[in-house]
A = this chain, B = another copy of it.
């Protein structure tokens, strides 16, 4: 079992929460000074995936239109609905992703307000956006980013009069550093077993739906493919039955993320089918984890955070037994492309 880094992880989450007051002021300032017609979440890879739950939450709760784009697509297409009345939220862990920096510059030219999430403020993206949030994190990046993003978006929902328990939700958010560390502790053994069993696998299907699809996407393309060089395919659990399920055989390795959001029936349906036809199904059910202090009605929103905490342990364990550090790269940041 690989050593955990729960102390550092907890501190990074707490750092995300500490931004609350600044975030409240930032959102208020943006809304005081602008008429916001729509919101664009733009990034690449893992930094894109982390914003997908935000779109889900707006879809569920808000009458404002939100859009998620890969930064290159956005920069080339320049959607016509992107105007000076758009709020543009961008994210890049390094703060250096050129196409994401380009998005912030485009927004500035257009006169649209920008918020950026990154590792370090002192970066090209940090300089290009109006408001910057950085977590300086070496680990727990995803979860701390989601916490900061949630503080932003629930502030927007509150300002728009579309969410009536802001204080309750913020209190629930505060429970996360402790709760998510407990989630990680709970899965330690299971993650080590899973890694041992799966260390020689050459392909994974990673299924998710609704608020958890972003986690499935990131686990497949960022962890398995980028960081472990294992083929992995992210699949929306609702789309599964319209293509990919035809290749399932008894030795197909399938990971299913089962959140507590409105899309749960999609994951359940995928689980029932997969378990019938494959012997290698891993289900990550967020329902299994205690979250004291988190009201039932908020659990759906916290599903990606639970998935991320659990998958982080799975990922670090499999990297360890495969002797392939998560930081190893063949091309990224090494060759020209």
Chain A residues near B (Cβ < 8 Å): 38, 44-48, 56, 59-65, 70-73, 76-81, 97, 99, 203, 209-210, 220-222, 225-227, 229-231, 233, 236-239, 241-248, 262-263, 265-266, 269, 272-273, 277, 329-332, 337
Contact = CB atoms under 8 A, between A and B. Distances in A.
Given A63-B81, A73-B238, 15 more contacts: A44-B242, A45-B241, A63-B80, A71-B238, A72-B265, A73-B263, A76-B262, A76-B266, A77-B262, A220-B243, A226-B244, A231-B231, A245-B331, A246-B332, A273-B331
A238 B331 contact: no
A276 B269 CA distance: 42
Number of copies: 2
Contact of A59 (B44, B77, B331): B77
Contacts of A59: 77, 79-81
Given A65-B65, A244-B225, A266 B337 contact: no
A48 B241 CA distance: 13
A133 B222 CA distance: 41
A14 to B, nearest CB: 28
A273 B236 contact: no
17 contacts: A44-B241, A45-B243, A48-B242, A56-B77, A59-B79, A62-B81, A63-B80, A65-B65, A71-B238, A72-B237, A73-B209, A77-B210, A99-B238, A203-B231, A225-B247, A246-B330, A246-B331
Contacts of A61: 80
B238 A221 contact: no
B48 A239 contact: yes
Contacts of A76: 210, 262-263, 265-266
B72 A238 contact: yes
Contacts of A242: 44-48, 97, 221-222, 226
Contact of A243 (B81, B226, B265, B269): B226
A60 to B, nearest CB: 6
A243 B262 contact: no
A245 B44 CA distance: 13
A265 B56 CA distance: 30
Contacts of A245: 331-332, 337
Contacts of A38: 65
A245 B265 CA distance: 33
B246 A229 contact: yes
A241 B60 contact: no
Contacts of A71: 238
Contact of A236 (B73, B209, B244, B265): B73
A92 to B, nearest CB: 10
Contacts of A63: 80-81
Contact of A60 (B70, B79, B97, B262): B79
A263 B77 contact: yes
A239 B209 contact: no
A158 to B, nearest CB: 16
